[in-house]
Amino acid sequence: MGKSKVLVVGATGYIGRRIVKASLDQGHITYVLQRPEIGLDIDKLHVLMSFKKQGARLVQGSFSDQQSLVEAVKKVDVVICTMSGVHFKTHNILMQLNLVDAIKEAGNVKRFLPSEFGMDPARMEHALAPGRETFDEKMIVRKAIEDAKIPFTYVSANCFAGYFVGSLSQLETLTPPKDKVHLYGDGNAKIVYMDEDDVATYTIKAIDDPRTLNKTLYLRPPENILSQRQLVEIWEKLSGKKLEKIIISGDDFLASMKDMDYAAKAGMGHFYHIFYEGCLTNFEIGEDGEEASNLYPEVKYTRMDEYLKIFV
């Protein structure tokens, strides 16, 4: 049987564009949804045109035109949604319910990967508000998928290096600090840091794999399971400069959230669960999960010393 045909919805997004590239690189006929709503967003258009140059097929479709979604999913075997998780007034994640309905109506889809790519929302029932809303909405989408008996794979990708490694996991910045670094608690909680291109590679490896059918794929490559202290040490070695460490206690961290706006509070909540609770690694993967580097040992995933070199 040939490789599945793939449709990526949310294709011009941060992880979406990487998933399109991985799908093409791994030899899948790849469709990307071209939404009329992008209007004059010339960057999005140019990303779509670059996909076309790489061999992707553009298919028109809109979340406000259900039939267009049905027609788009009828062209493929696998649908991957990389919808934004940013949760302001527009409940982006819940927009996927339209896509679930379209997949149900079309009836041909062999695997659906909804927009997750982070913490496992099934393990975040205790999450702090308002960040919890993203997880609650991801669980509503999961229920709709499972009620509709749509075959799925959920991808729990842990921490994107772009948001968590360049900054040495400092808040509100994406580049390394110059003199001092804030450590969360003792800085020893184990985190999993992932290069986003590897997230895309593993995701596409999984779509035709029976071992990941109706399972959660966790991305936990052993050499990328690091504490924040270990990440800082990697950077100090690369930069040749020691940083002053400033410990932020959990209580002080939570107290600082009080006066923040919605978006900042949501991100802070995520940081709290990741760096103080160690939520990414404080559980064993059960029989409803698989670990990506174990399934696909051939993937030469990027280690974080390699990732950080660009910042020296």
Residues near ligand NDP, by CB under 6 A: 10-16, 33, 35, 38, 44, 63, 82-86, 90, 92, 95, 115-118, 134, 157, 159-160, 163
**Choices 21-29, 30-38, 53-61, 166-174 (CB under 6 A): range interacting with ligand GFR:** 166-174
CB 200 to ligand GFR: min, Å? 16
Q: Tell me if residue 122 falls in helix, strand or coil.
A: helix
| Phi then psi dihedrals of residue 181, to 5 deg | -130, 135
Strand locations in 185-288, DSSP E? 190-194, 215-218, 225-227, 244-248
CB 134 to ligand NDP: min, Å? 6
- How many chain residues touch ligand GFR (CB under 6 A)? 12
Comparing CB distances to ligand GFR, the nearer of 69 and 292 is: 292
267 binds, among ligand NDP, ligand GFR, none (CB under 5 to 8 A by kind): ligand GFR
Which residue has the CB atom at the shortest distance from ligand GFR?
118
In terms of C-beta density within 10 A (0-12 exposed, 13-18 middle, 19 or more buried), how is residue 61 classed? buried
Catalytic residue among 21, 44, 104, 138: 138
53 flagged as catalytic: no
35 binds, among ligand GFR, ligand NDP, none (CB under 5 to 8 A by kind): ligand NDP
Per rule CB under 6 A, is residue 162 in the interface with ligand GFR?
Answer: no
- Taking a C-beta distance cutoff of 8 angstroms, is the pair 93, 85 a contact? yes
Can you tell me the distance from the alpha carbon of 208 to that of 257, in angstroms, rounded to the nearest whole number?
A: 42
Beta bridge partners of 8: 32, 80
Comparing CB distances to ligand NDP, the nearer of 46 and 242 is: 46
CB 105 to ligand NDP: min, Å? 19
Sign for the CA dihedral angle at 98, 99, 101, 106 comes to: positive
Per rule CB under 6 A, is residue 118 in the interface with ligand GFR?
Answer: yes
| Phi then psi dihedrals of residue 68, to 5 deg | -65, -35
**Choices 19-27, 33-41, 91-99, 165-173 (CB under 6 A): range interacting with ligand GFR:** 165-173
- Taking a C-beta distance cutoff of 8 angstroms, is the pair 207, 111 a contact? yes
What track of x and - describes contact with ligand GFR for positions 52 through 91 (by CB under 6 A)?
A: ---------------------------------x------
Q: Considering only CA atoms, which of 96, 59, 91 is closest in space to residue 81? A: 96
- Taking a C-beta distance cutoff of 8 angstroms, is the pair 289, 150 a contact? no
- Taking a C-beta distance cutoff of 8 angstroms, is the pair 253, 195 a contact? no
Residues with catalytic roles: 138
